[in-house]
Chains A and B, each alone.
Chain A
């Protein structure tokens, strides 16, 4: 089996699992909708477009966190990871498969969140959509690795937000900047740079994290 085939097989496994169990995806979708409703009441009456846009990013990051906390649940609870580590494939393929499946979940949730946001608050621009897509790459690349790290410890999901939020701050800056300023390309370029840098780093270091 080639590397690519491994990644495809692992991604398929995660997507199938989600399709059968349906535990994470509906929870994420409901969470993002409720968060938007709460924000509506948290904002002042004469809310600005920019404030609402910022809150959209808060909602996206927290929804991603909710999903990421569950990414390795099956691996830990059912001891899937022990089998995967023994499988004759490159270990970074496990990370890649997980990151891609998480990306799919997040994109599906945003398919609900973005239209909902434009109905509740203000229409989203093309630059924001591009920013969200680029941000997803970074969130999933980094988040999958750090979720694996936090699930290895006793703290489990409790720890993930602690290091995920400071780490993801540049993504929020890039995403908000893309939607809020007249010069979105600069921020999108920054997001792409972040994605590239941290995806390579996560890809390279995943092997060390799962070594027992």
Chain B
């Protein structure tokens, strides 16, 4: 997993609440054996017309946002299906940070497994960042995970909270498996007690 420390890039405004994972990456893209290449299907229903041509009104099709690294989105982002293709598609497009007031739990967890930083901010801060993102190519934000700060184009700063451990894993590019293996002893002893705790299992 790639490390995440700071990220500077164009932020695209996606002013929609309840963006679901079917919307992020529809089922027709899920049969791929590879995890790369999904960026082409990102937001496909909104992004392309019926004949496959790009919809010029969709934010990521606008020249100013075609290289967006950050997404500023409405409440409850990532709801619905547990498909991890959603963060894979974002990553493949080049987006490594999503900012919203709240995220659906499964999507939120999936992001951290793939080096994407999901940032929760207050509705007031989201409005401020959405304003920044609306400025097109000038909408450059800098996300500093170490300092837990988002710096806007005008020098304004938004602080954000994140679990210390998840932060540590992103910064170091660690995945859970290695950390879990450290607990092998505890797992083993739990396991031997589990049989007597739940004999019906």
Do A and B form a real pair? no
A residues bordering B, Cβ < 8 Å? none
B residues bordering A, Cβ < 8 Å? none
